[in-house]
Structure 1
Amino acid sequence: MLDPIVNFFTWAFQMIGRGIGFLVGILLWPFMWAGRWYTKRGWILKSILGAAVVVLIGLYGYFFWTTQVWTNFNPDYPDAYKFESRGVSAGEQLNAGAASSTAKTCGRSGIADVAADLTDFNVNQNPWVSSMILYKLGFFGLDWDKTPFFDNKASFQRGINQAVRRTLTELADNLGRVRGTSQIDNNLQSARGNIQFDEETWYFGFNPFGPKTPTPSYYRSAIKDLRTFNNQLQACNTVFDARADNLIQYLDRVASDLGSTTAILKDRAENHSSGWFDMRADDRFWFAYGQLYGYYGLMSAARADFEQVITERHLENLWQTMEDQFKSALRIQPVIVSNGSEGGWIMPSHLTTIGFYILRVRTNMVDISNVLSR
């Protein structure tokens, strides 16, 4: 009586085995055909093709290493600046009572230092992934951002870059000039222009056709411009206008930037909740994470740059609460990003989770801005 059942399962497993064998055959056929074709060629062509294959394997090996290894990644990186011990606002003269013959010294801008260091982290300590040729080519023509592979670091870097771009706009337009009526600092103007350059340019392109200056070169120029500005600020040869209204505007712009990100996360979480099978969830998550990573350092620096304003308005506790929210958010580092239902336990919603922390940070910024506006 068991024979029909045994025969059925035997047949089923045979069919499954044939199906797997057929699929493997389809996948291996191009390589087998290429191998047969290669063995029939002359040694010159074999040498050229062999060298090309070796180069391609090397490029993909480097690409794999670049996208998987995050050099000097440290969510607690603002601690290394020791901003809490500085005790002077950006642009404030340190030796105001000294003799006229004494060289002037002013406080550096922590915001400019952190913005330069974040960009250095993106393009010097780590290769800039978004403009690498293999990243641009994609996975058999499919954009890497639409796959679950090799795109997390690129999204993270772009998130940091978004925070730096927003900050450099404020530095050039408001913070680095007196009441918006003085001339824009040339270094900040140059840094803003360089950091706004598109994120995907390689050494060659088709629109327009011809050789190009790659994206990282522009970002490296922005680093140089920021450090030149800070050196001049330290020598009291330029200004940093550390007024309350400038801080309010900076916080409002950052809060608006983070608000846009939460809207993107909300849309993805509500309309594409496929758990681990949402191929774009990791892009959204790591972009948001990169923004938080960048703004954490920049907000810590702003606390030092506007030290006098924050002390006079008794904002130390509110500011510390905001920084603690950043720390809590940056502890979320899932191995696999899931965009499941909010109540799911097998496939949770990491987008909703990080969106919640972004809203908490944003709420603290609004609270600080409200206190400053009174």
Structure 2
Amino acid sequence: MIEPNGNLFTRVLKSIGRVIAWPFVRLWRWYAKRGWIAQAAIGVCAIGLIALYGYFVWVTQVWTNFNPDYADAYQIEKRNLSAGEQVEAGATTAARVCGRSAIADVSADLTDFNVNQNAWISSMILYKLGFFGLSWDNTPFLDNKASFQRGINQAVRRTTTELADNLGRLRGTSQVDSDLQSARGNMQFDEYTWYFGLSPFGPKTPTPSFYRSAIKNLRAFNTRLEKCDAVFDARADNLIQFIDRIANDIGGTSAILKDRAESNSAGWLDPRADDRFWFAYGQLYAYYGLLKATHGDFEDVLRTRNLDGLWNQMEQQTRAALNIQPFIISNGAEAGWIMPSHLITMGFYILRVRSNLVEISNALSR
């Protein structure tokens, strides 16, 4: 006799349920045979682990103060003063006042967004442990925010290096600014360090502590710059070098997206597509604010060279890339219509921004 389809479906579901429940049933039987002291200790550990995982899921899913238009709050377009440029002394005061660096301000605020307004995911113990030993980056869940934060961090690292090596020194030959040197060193620290490690074995200072120190360094530099006790060398050749480094940085990310898109076209089932996408998104998120800040810090250079219009266009195209926020990241075939390739789309926007940066660099070089 042929079994009705409904009964067969029910039996299959029950079988699946028994397979899923089996390890929990065995664990419960083992727990029930323990003494009350062991049960209490195990119960406390279990509750703590559940709470820890609950917190981990919460901080990976809630993106506090995420705002693609965050750069508008700086009102860069209202500035008429380059970074480090001295304001003419007024009649009531003889104290010197110089323009702050918007680049340093945005770098500090982006890092504050990463480690103070949000938890730094990559160095959390549950992120390091992974999903039953499998790296979260190799899964399709709970890694998007970590990748986004690392993308921001990549842009800030590049920027603090330029501040220390070139922008914060007169013609790159004067002494390195101590605050910028410390900021660069702190931002270069490993992204995955927890309070304890195995290589070398022992307690460690966690990653967020170093990044918080970098925030203080950048703000201390700007405080001294505002008092004309520090240097910001807003020359055209420094600007050329800075935007060339940014172009190379995002060009490398574009190559990563291209390689992943070409090597895997599993659509929504590609477990690495999401972290590739959100790293690139975080990088552009940071560079959007940093490029607007650069417009302010090099206001005199861009105005003199009549490049304000081209720079504004580049900023708009960078901001347009931040409108791509798909609920599920897909890495399908380029011609696919059911499962699109979000990596190719993001790569297109990155290359468009890079093309504008190269065009501005060439115009400055002439």
**Once the two structures are superposed, what CA deviation does each residue of 1:328-350 show, in whole Å capped at 9, x if it has no partner?**
10000000000001121110000
In the alignment, structure 1 segments of 5+ residues that lack a partner are: none
State TM-score, norm by structure 1: 0.95
Could you tell me which of 352, 355, 361 is aligned with 2:353?
361
**Once the two structures are superposed, what CA deviation does each residue of 1:75-112 show, in whole Å capped at 9, x if it has no partner?**
000000001111100000012x5579711100000000
Alignment map for 1:278-293 (pairs within 5 Å): 278-293=270-285
**Once the two structures are superposed, what CA deviation does each residue of 1:296-355 show, in whole Å capped at 9, x if it has no partner?**
000000000000000000011100100110111000000000000112111000000010
Aligned to 2:213: 221
State TM-score, norm by structure 2: 0.97
Could you tell me which of 80, 87, 99 is aligned with 2:80?
87
Q: CA deviation at 1:17?
A: 4.5
Name the SS of the counterpart of 1:210 in structure 2: strand
**Once the two structures are superposed, what CA deviation does each residue of 1:111-153 show, in whole Å capped at 9, x if it has no partner?**
0000000000000000000000111111111100000110000
CA distance in 1, matches of 2:279, 2:108: 19
Q: Which amino acid aligns with 1:102?
A: A
Q: CA deviation at 1:24?
A: 2.6
Name the SS of the counterpart of 2:312 in structure 1: helix
Q: Which amino acid aligns with 1:106?
A: C
Could you tell me which of 234, 239, 250 is aligned with 2:231?
239
Aligned to 2:63: 70
Q: Does 1:312 align with 2:304?
A: yes
CA distance in 2, matches of 1:275, 1:43: 51
CA distance in 2, matches of 1:50, 1:276: 38
Could you tell me which of 320, 324, 341 is aligned with 1:349?
341
Q: CA deviation at 1:19?
A: 4.3
CA distance in 2, matches of 1:158, 1:14: 50
Q: Does 1:150 align with 2:145?
A: no
Name the SS of the counterpart of 1:205 in structure 2: strand
Could you tell me which of 111, 115, 120 is aligned with 1:128?
120
CA distance in 1, matches of 2:168, 2:108: 15
Aligned to 1:40: 33
Residue range with higher mean Cα deviation, 85-94 or 97-106 = 97-106
Could you tell me which of 303, 315, 322 is aligned with 1:323?
315
Name the SS of the counterpart of 1:102 in structure 2: coil
CA distance in 2, matches of 1:276, 1:100: 65
Name the SS of the counterpart of 2:172 in structure 1: coil
CA distance in 2, matches of 1:101, 1:70: 45
Q: CA deviation at 1:23?
A: 3.2
CA distance in 2, matches of 1:69, 1:216: 18
CA distance in 1, matches of 2:6, 2:106: 60
Could you tell me which of 261, 266, 291 is aligned with 1:269?
261
Q: CA deviation at 1:18?
A: 4.2
Aligned to 2:109: 117
Residue range with higher mean Cα deviation, 71-80 or 37-46 = 37-46
CA distance in 2, matches of 1:233, 1:264: 38
Q: CA deviation at 1:27?
A: 2.0
In the alignment, structure 2 segments of 5+ residues that lack a partner are: none
CA distance in 1, matches of 2:93, 2:53: 60
Q: CA deviation at 1:42?
A: 1.4
Q: Which amino acid aligns with 2:279?
A: F
CA distance in 2, matches of 1:266, 1:22: 43
Q: Does 1:340 align with 2:329?
A: no
CA distance in 1, matches of 2:246, 2:155: 8
CA distance in 2, matches of 1:278, 1:304: 41
Could you tell me which of 136, 149, 159 is aligned with 2:151?
159
Aligned to 2:179: 187
Name the SS of the counterpart of 1:290 in structure 2: helix
Residue range with higher mean Cα deviation, 33-42 or 282-291 = 33-42
CA distance in 2, matches of 1:252, 1:306: 15
Aligned to 1:108: 100
Q: CA deviation at 1:43?
A: 1.3
CA distance in 2, matches of 1:298, 1:328: 15
Q: Does 1:31 align with 2:31?
A: no
CA distance in 2, matches of 1:346, 1:104: 62
CA distance in 1, matches of 2:95, 2:335: 63
Q: CA deviation at 1:26?
A: 2.4
CA distance in 1, matches of 2:140, 2:18: 25
CA distance in 2, matches of 1:208, 1:102: 54
CA distance in 1, matches of 2:234, 2:346: 31
- RMSD (Å) for aligned C-alpha atoms: 1.5
CA distance in 1, matches of 2:231, 2:29: 70
**Once the two structures are superposed, what CA deviation does each residue of 1:144-202 show, in whole Å capped at 9, x if it has no partner?**
00001100000000000000000011000000000011000000000000000000000
CA distance in 2, matches of 1:168, 1:60: 34
